[in-house]
Amino acid sequence: MALLFLFNQSLLEKEKRVIDAIEFLKSKGVIFKDRYHILDQLDKQEALSYYLEKIHGGKK
């Protein structure tokens, strides 16, 4: 069974709550497939939007 979670910008502005929610889900056995390593970027100093721009390569 696969579940897809989409995080909109308003959630990402409250990154601490998102990180806590993700850690809780992981503790319950939820496995995240994150091929772009976006979850790893949530607790970094750099804004997530900059990272997303980097991996997107400026393509529209």
User: How many Cα neighbours within 13 Å face the side chain of 42?
Assistant: 20
Q: Assess whether pLDDT exceeds 90 at residue 27.
A: yes
> Which one has a higher pLDDT value, 3 or 34?
34
What is the spatial distance between Cα 13 and Cα 40, in angstroms, rounded to a whole number?
16
Question: Tell me: the pLDDT tens digits for 1-15?
Answer: 566 666 665 555 567
Is the pTM higher than 0.85? The answer reads no
Task: Print the SS3 string covering 5-58.
Answer: CCCCHHHHCCHHHHHHHHHHHHHCCCCCCCCCCHHHHCCCCCCHHHHHHHHHCC
